[in-house]
Chain A
């Protein structure tokens, strides 16, 4: 006999449970958790290094990469607790991987948790890790057409950061196109331009994170 059964459950139900548990735990501890997403080479790790050097809040970092612990070594050298996740071919991080990484981080001693996702503008945008928000990181040399070509990430980003802004005089980059497209996709998101290696714009970024920290602390 053939029978039709209703299931009505999310495909990612198991992982969504992990994401909900993480969000609850971070809420309880008033930790701001940010999921950094951008292409390979967009400058995500360099942005984090510059942030760690200047921030007065206490940070920890989860690094997601297909292979190697190079990014984690850079973050450790900058003085923050860090866990490296190797996805061994996986193009994005999932909440169950983050849940496991959290076990080895000193959550009692931090205010902000940065998750640097696998370098990729497509897949990481689809997966909830339990974060407060996704931060879209796009660099000047990648070109100004990225927001419209990868709309999902830019649409849901909590903030959009344009990195390597100091390279503008050296490459053809259409500022107006980039920011107009970002506005069209996500009018509410704060926008920042940074040159991480020179420390330019990092203060504004840190102020923004501090604002999220304050509003999360008040919401407790």
Chain B
């Protein structure tokens, strides 16, 4: 259960963006990209966000979690594929020299903001 500390980091990053843009009034929607390998429980993340955003320009914004599929790359034969779950042998050549190239992401992709005249 580390969603609260992830939300704290998320709030810090988003509020920093608001400070840089005084004409932004409030956020409507925040899109996060969450890798399939990340152990994030969406309901817990959204609950924490709703609590942490109270009294800030992010209050009431919709937190949208988009799952990013796994992608693996074999260093030995160059095969690139999208496994369903953790896999560590290349299905093409059997090598164990396999890198996970996507699926550990935890990124703020975009935000919809209401702008004022500022």
Q: Which residues of A contact B89 (CB under 8 A)?
A: 187
User: A91-B2, A94-B5, A126-B39 in contact; A4/B112 too (CB < 8 A)?
Assistant: yes
Interface residues of B in 79-118 (CB under 8 A from A): 86, 88-89, 96, 105-115
**Chain B residues closer than 8 Å to A126, beta-carbon distance:** 2, 38-39
| A15 adjacent to chain B (CB < 8 Å) | yes
Closest residue on chain B to residue A94 by CB atoms: B5
Q: How far apart are the CA atoms of A184 and B88 in the complex, in Å? A: 7
Q: In the complex the two chains form, what is the Cα distance from A155 to B109 in whole Å?
A: 27
Report the Cα distance A5→B17, complex, angstroms.
Answer: 10
Majority DSSP secondary structure for residues of B touching A: mixed
- Kindly state the separation between the CA atoms of A122 and B40 in the bound complex, as whole angstroms: 11
Which listed residue, A12, A152, A185, touches B88 by the CB 8 Å rule?
Answer: A185
Q: How far is the CB of A148 from chain B (nearest CB, A)?
A: 10
Is A8 touching B113 in the complex (CB atoms < 8 A)? Answer: no
Provide the residues of chain B in CB contact with A127, threshold 8 Å: 2
Contacts of B106 in A (CB 8 A): 10-12
Could you show 21 A-B contacts with beta carbons less than 8 Å apart? A2-B115, A3-B112, A4-B112, A5-B111, A5-B112, A6-B110, A7-B17, A7-B111, A9-B108, A10-B107, A10-B108, A12-B106, A90-B5, A92-B5, A126-B38, A126-B39, A127-B2, A152-B86, A155-B86, A187-B89, A188-B96
